Amino acid sequence: MKYNRTYNFSAGPATMPEPVLEEIRDEMMNYRGSGMCVMEMSHRSKVFQQIIDEAEQDLRDLMGIPDNYKVMFIQGGATLQFAMIPMNLMKNGVACYVETGAWSKKAISEAKKYGDVHIVASSKDRNFSYIPDCSDLDIPENTDYVYICENETIHGVTWPKLPNTKGHILVSDQSSMFLSRPCNVSDYGLIYAGVQKNVGPAGMVVVIMREDLIREDLDPKVPLYMSYKTHADNDSMYNTPNCWAIYCCGKVFKYLKSIGGLEAMNQINMEKAKVMYDFLDSSKLFKGTVDKEFRSLMNVPFVTGDADMDAKVVAATKAAGYDNLKGHKSVGGLRASIYNAMPKEGVEALVEFLKKFEAENT
């Protein structure tokens, strides 16, 4: 393997496309004749303005983001959005949340600080191994929004179909599936994604928000940084943004365009996930933990059913050059995160290794 890199199955920060890392390396000491690295540049410089403008435009092209949506690059990770969303969107102080795993649970507990939170559906009864039926939810008329986590990174479940919000605004945490497949942005009021899962380096979130939802009348005690209006009015440059993450993400957006956009990416992701799930379905030692129709294409949790054996597999994979396969501590077992940048060969090699492990250990 070039550069002696490992196949990195980390859930985040996660693997990035090699051609992107090579470009970043080549521009490290002197970005396109500017005489400096992007890390060293003023965010108010012309050079950087072009970097951020192109990043936004490429993202708009990739996702087909309509003109009445703002794109914002904000710091504080996806976690800050758990608070920013209720602080900005709760006008009536009421919101509906669907509880599907660890990340929606965190969003729920944060939202409860700001208003009345209705958990309108939950899959807690079977340890978050499926997505509950959301075709006819009991949504109060005065709800400000309906919130989902569209891919639960830890539990490995994803939504095959969006919930019926009965005309209310849909808010979605797309952190671990952002840009993994085409997305009809106008189905949502707000989409956000921490970029260190499927796009770039840690420390930034992309927020895509319908313009009319940006409020002028927030409680004056809301910190300026936490008002979407601040970021929208200043094109993500109210204060110093995460310039480095914007630069790297911009490269990934261009890379995705170059391979054929989100349709092409989705095709590759489906093929990759199939390799993994076909193996799990035929294995006697390993099994997936999620109901088939809700399986994530990005995060694949699996178990042997024996914690000692799970630990043995994790150690063996690491020794063989497949890193970060330990399941999240709240779930146990194993988890292979096979984001956009994980090549199909990486998944195939892992499956070959697990087959061999199974043959030798059963």
Ligand X SMILES: *Cc1c(COP(=O)(O)O)cnc(C)c1O
Residues forming the site for ligand X (CB under 6 A): 12, 77-79, 103, 149, 153, 173, 175-176, 194, 197
Q: Which C-beta is closer to ligand X: that of 12 or that of 189?
A: 12
Maximum Cα–Cα distance across the chain: 65
Please identify which of the residues 173, 251, 272, 310 carries the catalytic annotation: 173
Integer CA distances (angstroms), 88 to 82, 242, 329, in order: 11, 22, 32
Backbone angles phi, psi at 220, to 5 degrees: -60, -15
Q: Which C-beta is closer to ligand X: that of 196 or that of 304?
A: 196
Please identify which of the residues 70, 105, 197, 272 carries the catalytic annotation: 197
| b/e 257-285 (16+ beta carbons within 10 angstroms → b) | eeeebbeebbebbeebbebbbebbeebeb
Q: Give the CB-nearest residue to ligand X.
A: 77
User: Taking the complex as a whole, how short is the minimal distance between the CB of residue 11 and ligand X, in angstroms?
Assistant: 7
Task: Using alpha carbons, select from 26, 2, 22, 18 the residue that is nearest to residue 341.
Answer: 18
User: Taking the complex as a whole, how short is the minimal distance between the CB of residue 192 and ligand X, in angstroms?
Assistant: 9
User: Taking the complex as a whole, how short is the minimal distance between the CB of residue 178 and ligand X, in angstroms?
Assistant: 9
Rg (CA), the chain: 21
Q: Which C-beta is closer to ligand X: that of 272 or that of 335?
A: 335
Please identify which of the residues 70, 103, 251, 326 carries the catalytic annotation: 103
The two three-digit tokens of residue 254, written as one number: 């261009």
Q: Which C-beta is closer to ligand X: that of 88 or that of 296?
A: 296
As a whole number of angstroms, the distance between CA 174 and CA 103 comes to 11
Question: For residue 111, how far is the Cα from the chain centroid?
Answer: 20
Residue 159 is among the residues annotated as catalytic for this protein: no
Q: In what order do the strands lie in the sheet with 69-74?
A: 69-74, 205-210, 190-194, 170-173, 146-149, 94-99, 116-122
The two three-digit tokens of residue 21, written as one number: 């890392």
Cβ-contact 57, 199 below 8 angstroms: no
User: Taking the complex as a whole, how short is the minimal distance between the CB of residue 78 and ligand X, in angstroms?
Assistant: 3
User: Taking the complex as a whole, how short is the minimal distance between the CB of residue 171 and ligand X, in angstroms?
Assistant: 12
Amino acid at residue number 12? G
As a whole number of angstroms, the distance between CA 220 and CA 313 comes to 53
Helix (H) or strand (E) holding 149: strand 146-149
Helix (H) or strand (E) holding 207: strand 205-210
User: Taking the complex as a whole, how short is the minimal distance between the CB of residue 193 and ligand X, in angstroms?
Assistant: 8
Q: Which C-beta is closer to ligand X: that of 107 or that of 354?
A: 107
Residue 173 is among the residues annotated as catalytic for this protein: yes
Q: Which C-beta is closer to ligand X: that of 173 or that of 310?
A: 173
Helices (H) and strands (E) in the chain, counts: 9, 14
Residue 244 is among the residues annotated as catalytic for this protein: no
Q: Which C-beta is closer to ligand X: that of 69 or that of 103?
A: 103
User: Taking the complex as a whole, how short is the minimal distance between the CB of residue 335 and ligand X, in angstroms?
Assistant: 12
**Catalytic positions, please?**
103, 173, 197
